[in-house]
Amino acid sequence: PKVVNMAEDKKAFVDEINKALAKSEGLTSKDLLFSYWGTPYPATVRSAEMFQALENLEARRDDMVLVSYPKCGVNWLIQILSDLIFTTIQSKPVSTELPFIEIGDPDKYQISEKKLLNHLERMKQIPSPRILATHLNYDCLRKSIFKNKAKILVLFRNPKGTAVSFFHFHNSVPRVPSYSSWDEFFSEFMNGKVVWGSCFDHAVTWNKHIEDENTMIIIYEDLKENLTASVKQIAEFFGFFPTAEQIQSIADRATFQAVEDKAEETHGAVGSILFCKGVVGDWKNLFTEAQNQEMDAKFEVCLEGIKQGAKLKYDVYCKA
């Protein structure tokens, strides 16, 4: 079987990431953010113009849409899907575009006045199947995704693990504001004042649609617990039917250690931050008893008793 080199087409992708990081040099914390419809976003990779241009996104039926709140493992899923496409249909899925639909410059959705690009916006030049990743809430997604019945895989992670991973991300990546302490970040996180807004709001809006046609939910902790079974489930959802040997090979290449080892090669300077630790239960090293109680109470109010809350197995993964 053909050996996958996931990095061979990644140079332009890595260059885009490094370019975004370079933009943040010398900016104040205030300049690193901009607000759109009341939600803060990192200004170095998003803009109001980008959100407006995003309206032009015309989804395809065979697009593979990946949704998650930040630091829930979506970059891991992108790696798995890229490998899955390459392995099963022998095409190179990696595009020079960043896979996140709300990241980049507006010209990817419109004809550039400077470069006509054969009179076709760049997103339309990407061959199918495209991987479209996003951190946006359900209400912010383009209607063409639903109209054209693209399949949507929604990834959730337990909120305590998400919070700790997001804290480390904020204090490691120069393009987002850093925090002087975990306590300061925790307060902002619980009040939805971090980039991309509230983790709980994101979960609640998607919970209303977890049984929608063409939508499937997957849990980060389940990926960690049984990667091979999860790869098979993801493949079948998107209409791929790899052999058992191919599934196992993809899972072997997608272990967190394997992905972490190639992080800089595949994601440039930010790679080691995007794929950092990923240990289930790491939250116990930072949460105080009072913070545990506050998060548990928030979970009960927002998610306990609903289907998505049950899927998260909160008592298993988030109770000390």
Q: Catalogue all structural domains in the chain, each as residue range(s) with its CATH number.
A: 11-317 (3.40.50.300)
Number of Cβ within a 10 Å radius of residue 318: 21
Lowest-confidence segment of 15-29, 135-149, 156-170 by average pLDDT: 15-29
pLDDT at position 171 is 83
pLDDT at position 175 is 65
* Residue 13: pLDDT band with limits 50, 70, 90: low
- Report the Cα–Cα distance between both ends of the chain, in Å, rounded: 45
CA distance 62 to 85: 12
pLDDT at position 261 is 52
Lowest-confidence segment of 74-83, 171-180, 192-201 by average pLDDT: 171-180
pLDDT at position 123 is 84
Which residue, among 198, 215, 185, 213, has the nearest Cα to 303 in the 3D structure?
A: 198
pLDDT in tens, 271-313: 444 445 556 678 988 999 999 999 999 999 988 777 777 888 8
Which runs of E-coded beta strand occur in the chain? 33-36, 39-42, 64-68, 131-134, 151-156, 215-219
* Residue 231: pLDDT band with limits 50, 70, 90: very high
Please tell me the pTM assigned to this model.
0.82
pLDDT at position 2 is 38
Q: SS3 of 77, please?
A: helix
pLDDT at position 98 is 74
Q: SS3 of 68, please?
A: strand
CA distance 262 to 242: 24
Looking at per-residue pLDDT, the higher value among 7 and 92 belongs to: 92
Active-site annotation, residues: 135
Q: Over pLDDT 70: what percentage of the chain?
A: 76
Q: What is the mean pLDDT of the chain?
A: 81
Mean pLDDT over residues 120-130, rounded? 81
Total number of residues shown for the chain: 320
